[in-house]
Structure 1
């Protein structure tokens, strides 16, 4: 049975309505899918940027913490150096005061004479030469002469050797020397300095650890004495 034009038109409209509905539903489905993917991508990008921002500030915080530690370390080192300098200045001040007091030693002529005897004998032990020339302060010539024989007696008793000792009356110890003597062989190749200043320097070096400990207490970081 043949369809009339009206029936054909009706079926066409029905098919067009169905296609339109299908297209609309497909478009909504695509739009929903696109929205879902957009939200997922948006969340991923936001999370990615958030992690980057967190990483940036964590790195910044670590750098600040590192700079703070470096600054604290530098400040502690500077403070430690200032303390060490103040201590060293104090020790050097005490040594300088001791040097200035050396002048009081030579005022007691009897005690100073005994000291010269010991300095002469010690120099002879170190040199072990048959002939020795002694230099001293011009004012000490007579005192040195008085104590040479006693020093030679001690030297001979200890070494069973003799020595010809003379005093240099042409070249005396300079004004920078408070007292004591210098001994040398005639050829000048061997020389022993036993001035009061040299003895003070020697004793101060030997006793420096004890001096520092007495003044400032023991150092827990020091394993060996200087």
Structure 2
């Protein structure tokens, strides 16, 4: 083999090696680009999922905050309404004193309160507590109503006024009636009757002040 042949063989081998190296480089670059694209896509999906999750969390937090704000606003409205009703009832309580000062109305009112107490207790012996300044008008009302009670119930009735324990000065009028043991009481003071009436009429009071509740489906 001549030197020329050897050079040709070496050149051929070197050319094949270069081509093989280029092929390997091209293959490696292709695989690199594929892998890079896969990793980029994977990371892109992870980033999208992360921000979608964050967006949902923010939306949920926004809904919770809006719900809390609405609840707080609703509670403020309810409190404002309750405060208005309380002010109205307090004003009504202050006016109760004027009822007891009316000589044309108060004795008739006492008659009804006392007779109602008799019927509620249905006991043969009763004790009445009243304001000290009402002592005479209460005595007259008791004597007037005992015959009415006896005629209706067909039983005797003894009533005494507790003159050792009058109703406190902050009571505007009316009476408290106890059974003989003192364990059962009917409170027919003006304040207690106002509270009872307010409790019974609260739905009508709310409608009169604030209008009908559009969310209410059933009426009592």
Q: After TM superposition, is the score higher than 0.5? A: yes
Alignment correspondent of 2:211: 217
Aligned counterparts of 1:85 and 1:146: Cα–Cα separation in 2: 45
Alignment correspondent of 1:197: 191
Q: Which runs of 5+ in 2 are unaligned?
A: none
Alignment correspondent of 1:9: 3
Shift of 1:219: 1.8
Q: How does 1:114-193 map to 2 (within 5 A)?
A: 114-193=108-187
Partner of residue 98 from structure 1, selected from 92, 96, 102: 92
Q: How does 1:41-120 map to 2 (within 5 A)?
A: 41-120=35-114
Cα deviations across residues 165-223 of structure 1 (Å, max 9, x unaligned)? 12222221110111001111232122211110111111111111111111111223345
Q: Kindly name which structure, 1 or 2, has the bigger radius of gyration based on alpha carbons.
A: 1
Cα deviations across residues 85-126 of structure 1 (Å, max 9, x unaligned)? 100000000000000000111122231111111111111111
Shift of 1:225: 6.0
Shift of 1:132: 1.0
Q: Does 1:23 align with 2:17?
A: yes
Give TM-score scaled by structure 2 length: 0.93
Alignment correspondent of 2:32: 38
Aligned counterparts of 1:214 and 1:68: Cα–Cα separation in 2: 36
Shift of 1:153: 2.8
Which 10-residue stretch deviates more, 214-223 or 134-143?
214-223
CA RMSD of aligned residues (A): 1.7
Shift of 1:224: 5.3
Contact 1:209 1:225 in 2 (8 A): no
